[in-house]
Amino acid sequence: MLAVSDMPTGKNPTPDADAAASKPLIELSHVGVTFPTKRGDPVVAVEDFNLNIAREEIVSLVGPSGCGKSTVLRMLAGLLKPTSGDVWIGGDPNLRGFSEVAIVFQRATLLPWLTILKNVLYPVRVLKGRVGAEDIARAHDLLALVGLDDMAERMPHELSGGMQQRAAIARSLILDAKILLMDEPFGALDALTREDLQLDLLDIHARTKKTILLVTHSINEAVLLSDRVAVMSARPGRLQDLIEIDIPKPRSHESAALPAFIEYSQRIRDDIFGPRGHRKAVS
Amino acid sequence: MSSTTRRILAPLFTFLLFLVAWQVISWGLKVPVYLLPSPLDIWNGGMRLGPTIFSNSLETLTTILIGFALSCAVGIPLGVLVSVNRVTSEAIYPLIVFLNAIPIVAIAPILVVIFGTDITARLIIVTLIAFFPIMVATASGILDTPEEMLDLARVAGASPLTEILTVRLPHAVAFIFGGLRIGVTVAVVGAVVAEFVNANKGLGFLVTSSTAQFAIPTAMACVVMLAIISVLLYESVNLVHRVFFGWSIRREAGH
């Protein structure tokens, strides 16, 4: 295991760790993002956005297209700077990079010239400049975790879409970042593969105790996977509702039949579409 | 017949048919040799040169290969420079376009005056003509890099140089080879032009000297040799692409 920080992990909770855990790992306070446009009027993508995420929590961001979900994610990944407000990760406004924050995109984004193993090791290669034996061993462990241990030497194009996304998840875990950002990670997959990977993600979370921020279009997915669901409204993107999902764990697709699950889903749907949502979807 | 043998035999057959038709028409119409030699005349012209044609081919090939290597060494880094950074692009692109706009045939004699009659002038001529397609192709490849791949590199903490080396350049490989295929064929043209104006050996020199003596079949034999060299070099670039960068061909074929 790569030690990336002296912070306690969730695996052996101590009184100190509990104290640390009470402080949110991710803090977004009064964050605004404005994009300049060539025509003049700047576009406000996110406005006065506040969200705290605790250690080991899974939080989903849902909302209509263009509500700034991905903007929030890209900001946490360090790909984008907030125009106003503060973004704190682990109490430090400057923590960035795969060692602290890892990201999984909608598309697997494996580099087609590298084998699966080397793709998983890519963040190590960028961070350290070279890949050691222990890194390779860790990459094999992660590939085993996502069920791809026999695919290490294959090229990305030889794998199905679901397998490619599993490899991308393994890559996001290679540096043992505490935070995993997922931008519609299962959005490009077929429905069956998607359900399969959702359960895998719950399993990976149970084993690795990552803090996960998930952007999704699927209300069902948000309720199934999350501890809390943040609903965003569009133009400008604001936090509209924050819902604690109190459904017992471990969850499975059978959880979707629980009355509570259905109530949560309906509440999110109402948040997004308004009261008319029962009859007519607003685009 | 398997598809592989058909792919080899079918064009070979067409080619032979073309030669036979040419030969028959030459005999039938009694075309004078100094106007258009028949394939057999050209063959005999080549045989008359004997081993000389090979030593001269080697001379030309050397010019082409070194010039082509220089074109890659100049074209690929320039392609990166003009595509990754707006300032460098704005600063050097106009100069490069200007250099490329110079008619190579016009400047070749001047270069000979400046650099003398050794290989230097010839290499400069080849490089001037061949670097441009390589540079443009590299730049298009660099700019074509998918945004998500760049995001991946940035989140991983890659410096701009690491980003170029680990993501942009590998992605550009398919494009670069497109440029190399064009570059290698124009390098042949460049070498011949260079030998026209400045050489006492090489196929370009043989063409001019034979033509001056009305030895048209000999000149044609040299032209045929040049065509063969051009095709072989083109296929060699393809072979290197397939053997060492096979993944980029598969991706090009697309999903």
Same domain, B1 and B51: no
Same domain, B16 and B128: no
Looking at CA atoms only, how far is residue A108 from chain B in angstroms?
Answer: 9
Q: By the 8 A CB rule, do A172 and A121 touch? A: no
Structure tokens belonging to residue A218 = 């699927």
Same domain, B15 and B98: no
Same domain, B45 and B109: yes
Pairing relation of β-strands A179-183 and A211-215? Answer: parallel
| A-B C-beta contacts closer than 8 Å | 64
- Which pLDDT does position A129 carry in this prediction? 85
- Which pLDDT does position B181 carry in this prediction? 96
- Which pLDDT does position B88 carry in this prediction? 83
3-class secondary structure, A244: strand
**Residue whose token pair is 């082409």:** B64
Nearest to A214 by CA among A182, A238, A178, A176: A182
* Start-end of CATH 3.40.50.300 domains in chain A: 25-97+177-277
Same domain, B159 and B180: yes
Looking at CA atoms only, how far is residue A216 from chain B in angstroms?
Answer: 17
Taking an 8 Å cut-off on Cβ atoms, the answer to whether A103 and B151 are in contact is yes
The per-residue pLDDT for range A17-63, each reduced to its tens digit, is 444 446 778 888 888 888 888 777 888 888 888 888 888 899 999 98
On whether any CB of chain A is under 8 Å from the CB of B157, the answer is yes
Closest partner residue to B155 among A77, A113, A155, by Cβ?
Answer: A77
Q: For residue A96, what pLDDT band results from cuts at 50, 70 and 90?
A: low
Same domain, B4 and B54: no
Looking at CA atoms only, how far is residue B243 from chain A in angstroms?
Answer: 13
Query: How far is the C-alpha of B146 from the C-alpha of A192, rounded, in Å?
Result: 28
Kind and range of the H or E run holding B147: helix B147-155
Closest partner residue to B148 among A102, A105, A112, by Cβ?
Answer: A105
Looking at CA atoms only, how far is residue B245 from chain A in angstroms?
Answer: 8
Give the residue ranges of DSSP H helices in A78-190.
Answer: 116-120, 122-128, 133-145, 161-173
Q: Which residues of A touch B248 (CB under 8 A)?
A: 112-113
Mean pLDDT along residues B43-59: 90
3-class secondary structure, A92: strand
Q: For residue A71, what pLDDT band results from cuts at 50, 70 and 90?
A: confident
On the question of pLDDT at A79 being above 90, the answer is no
Q: Which residues of B touch A107 (CB under 8 A)?
A: 148
On the question of pLDDT at B244 being above 70, the answer is yes
CATH code of the domain covering residue B185: 1.10.3720.10
A123: closest chain B residue by CA? B156
- Highest mean pLDDT, choosing among A36-40, B30-34, B223-227: B223-227
Same domain, B82 and B14: no
Same domain, B223 and B129: yes
Complex ipTM tops 0.90:
no
Taking an 8 Å cut-off on Cβ atoms, the answer to whether B247 and A157 are in contact is yes
The per-residue pLDDT for range A242-254, each reduced to its tens digit, is 888 888 888 888 8
Query: How far is the C-alpha of A35 from the C-alpha of B92, rounded, in Å?
Result: 30
Q: Which residues of B touch A109 (CB under 8 A)?
A: 146, 148-149, 151-152
Q: For residue A69, what pLDDT band results from cuts at 50, 70 and 90?
A: confident
3-class secondary structure, A6: coil
Closest partner residue to B162 among A78, A101, A126, by Cβ?
Answer: A126
- CATH number for region A25-97+177-277: 3.40.50.300
The per-residue pLDDT for range A128-151, each reduced to its tens digit, is 888 889 999 999 999 998 889 899
Same domain, B19 and B51: no
Give the number of domains in chain B.
2
Mean pLDDT along residues B41-46: 90
Query: How far is the C-alpha of A30 from the C-alpha of B231, rounded, in Å?
Result: 65
Query: How far is the C-alpha of A127 from the C-alpha of A177, rounded, in Å?
Result: 13
Is the bond preceding B37 in cis, omega lying within 30 degrees of 0?
no
- Quote the crossing angle between the two packed helices B169-197 and B246-253, to the nearest 10°: 110
Average pLDDT, chain A: 82
Q: Domain containing B24: what range?
A: 1-30
- Which pLDDT does position B173 carry in this prediction? 95
Taking an 8 Å cut-off on Cβ atoms, the answer to whether A123 and B251 are in contact is no
Same domain, B48 and B76: yes
Same domain, B245 and B122: yes
Looking at CA atoms only, how far is residue B160 from chain A in angstroms?
Answer: 11
Q: Which residues of A touch B157 (CB under 8 A)?
A: 96-99, 123, 126-127
Same domain, B5 and B98: no
With a CB cutoff of 8 Å and minimum separation 6, the contacts of A218 are: A62, A186, A187
